[in-house]
Amino acid sequence: MDKELLQSTVSKVLDEMRQRPIPLGVSNRHIHLSAQDYERLFPGHPISEKKALLQPGQYAAEQTVTLVGPKGQLKNVRLLGPLRSVSQVEISRTDARTLGIAAPLRMSGNLKGTPGIRLVSPFAELELPSG
């Protein structure tokens, strides 16, 4: 293949790639709950969708909880749905300092060695041993 044809082909491919938007979402503090933990915190109340997220099938729920740590609390932490197999809290480093916990930097879903935290809803409280 000659050099001009190669440059032209690469240029066309790059132009096409630039035309396709790449969806990007920033996730603030939030919580994922298992069905069992959800039922304990919101007994008899079905989970209700507030807003769809960029990830297909994912949504922000109307329900919120308060996170309570040794040094402080964070109110109105949004529940994301659908419900998961294991409960997990996702917060920033600043949030971790506010709560007084040593939260490791991890990919979502990796809970090994994470600290526990207390969750408070309008109906109940729950101590997560990790998450």
Whether residue 122 contacts residue 44, with contact meaning beta carbons closer than 8 Å, is answered with no
Which position has the higher pLDDT, 11 or 108? 11
For residues 131 and 78, which has the higher predicted lDDT (pLDDT)? 78
Percent of the chain with pLDDT over 90: 63
Average pLDDT for residues 21-40, to the nearest whole number?
Answer: 87
Alpha-carbon distances, residue 129 vs 12, 93, 114 (angstroms)? 54, 19, 9
Our CA angle for 31, 130, 89, nearest 5°, is: 15
pLDDT the model gives residue 110: 74
Is the pTM value of this prediction over 0.85? no
* Percentage of residues in the chain having pLDDT higher than 70: 96
pLDDT tens-digit map of 48-74: 999 999 888 999 999 999 999 999 999
| 37-54: average pLDDT | 96
- pLDDT higher than threshold 90 for residue 16: no
Determine the Cα–Cα distance for residues 59 and 55; give it in Å rounded to an integer: 8
More confident call, 112 vs 64: 64
pLDDT score of 99 more than 90 = yes
